[in-house]
Amino acid sequence: MESTTDTIRTYLEERFLFEFDDETTPDTDLFKAGVIDSFGYVRMMRFLESEFSLALDGDEILMNVLVSLNAIDEFVQKKLAGE
Residue 68, pLDDT score: 96
What pLDDT, on a 0 to 100 scale, did the predictor assign at position 59? 82
- Asked if 29 contacts 68 with a C-beta cutoff of 8 angstroms, the reply is yes
Range of the domain at 16: 4-80
pTM, two decimals, is: 0.90
pLDDT of 81 reads: 93
Instruction: Name, in order, each residue with C-beta under 8 angstroms of 16's C-beta and a sequence gap of 6 or more.
Output: 30, 35, 36, 40
Tell me if residue 78 falls in helix, strand or coil: helix
pLDDT for 7-57, tens place per residue?
999 999 999 999 999 999 999 999 999 999 999 999 999 999 999 999 988
Q: Return left, alpha or beta for 3; rule: phi > 0 is left, psi -120 to 50 is alpha, else beta.
A: beta
CATH number for position 48: 1.10.1200.10
Identify the band that residue 63 occupies on the pLDDT scale cut at 50, 70 and 90. confident
Number of independent structural domains in the chain:
1
